[in-house]
Structure 1
């Protein structure tokens, strides 16, 4: 198993695992166990588990930043939920955009069903995903550069609608989710 880029927080690792279904059957469900490990002299963290559908053994090994022995806990605000000020090395802006869209759509369903707690949690995740997209903006730049999209899935999102990665659009959509929060999670 090759070493993946550094994972910043447990929430980022969980999201990565959810976005990478079982290669054998396509199921996204697995029961994961995390353990500290190393790849050569570099500290790493291994997630292993079995697919609940086909029982295929799955494993991902993430590098860890700054000599950590485990991924960090999520921060208290959307800007720190998935990591600090640096952009993700695991998910590109297009993938973060998909997460934000999925959470925004699910929040609307939860709101229609009267589940304000679920809706708020989903909107909070959408806000955090938009914050992650913003971390790819160059200082003083107006848009996320095309070179920031390295995954097939993320590149497809960018190619379909590059305008969604402009600074103003990122801020407007993030603020929309904040404005439609049924209540603020603690």
Structure 2
């Protein structure tokens, strides 16, 4: 069973970051059902790959007292979860999401699609807020021990300075300053 999932948006992002192991497609029609695993509440996502029809399944733990992942919060700090760091995605994966969204936002802006650009920048800001949740309260940088995935460790090892508090805040503020408008 995977660690506890906080929100539906976090589940969706996790599923996008874990393509079909057989063909690499990210497309699948997912069915979500509440279940229990070892008397613990859980949520099962199952479906078939849209390309090769491989059966796929993920079983996520749920936080105590929850029967389903929560809806996304209205603020970037709460979109993917509450004040605690993610147990599904490490800070390197969150930074990668922020990078992808920032690049896609620039492409949307060049095409004149302000709504798409705003949504992508908002998602980049939310992902950067998730990186910030891994910062120690009095610390200046995300500790190396916070990275557990191969993808996340690779992002960290390429440029550990990107995980310094000030640098994360500068990139977040850049996205906020370049927002074509504030998404609803």
Whether these two folds match at TM > 0.5 is yes
Question: What are the superposed Cα offsets for residues 39-65 of structure 1, whole Å, 9 maximum, x if unpaired?
Answer: 011000000011000000100000000
Which residues of 2 match residues 162-173 of structure 1 at below 5 A?
A: 162-173=160-171
How far apart, in 2, do the equivalents of 1:67 and 1:43 lie?
A: 8
2:70 — aligned with what? 72
Q: How far did 1:66 drift?
A: 2.1
Residue of structure 2 in register with 1:181 after alignment:
179
Q: Where do 1:133-148 residues align within 5 Å?
A: 133-148=131-146
Of 129, 132, 136, 1:131 maps to 129
Structure 2 residue ranges without an equivalent (≥5): none
Separation in 1 of the partners of 2:115 and 2:29?
25
Task: Name 1:16's counterpart in structure 2.
Answer: 14
From 83, 87, 90, the counterpart of 1:89: 87
Q: Secondary structure at the match of 2:89?
A: coil
Give distance in 2, aligned partners of 1:93 and 1:57: 29
Matched with 2:31 is 33
1:6 pairs with 2:4: yes
The separation in 1 between residues aligned to 2:38 and 2:138, in whole angstroms, is 39
Equivalent in 96, 99, 102 of residue 98 of structure 1? 96
Q: Give the number of aligned pairs.
A: 184
Runs of 4+ in 1 over 3 A off after TM superposition: none
User: CA RMSD, aligned part only?
Assistant: 0.4
TM-score (norm 2): 0.99
Q: Name the structure 1 match of 2:60.
A: 62
> Matched residues in 2 for 1:183 and 1:32: separation?
32
- Determine the C-alpha separation between the residues in 2 that align with 1:117 and 1:49: 30
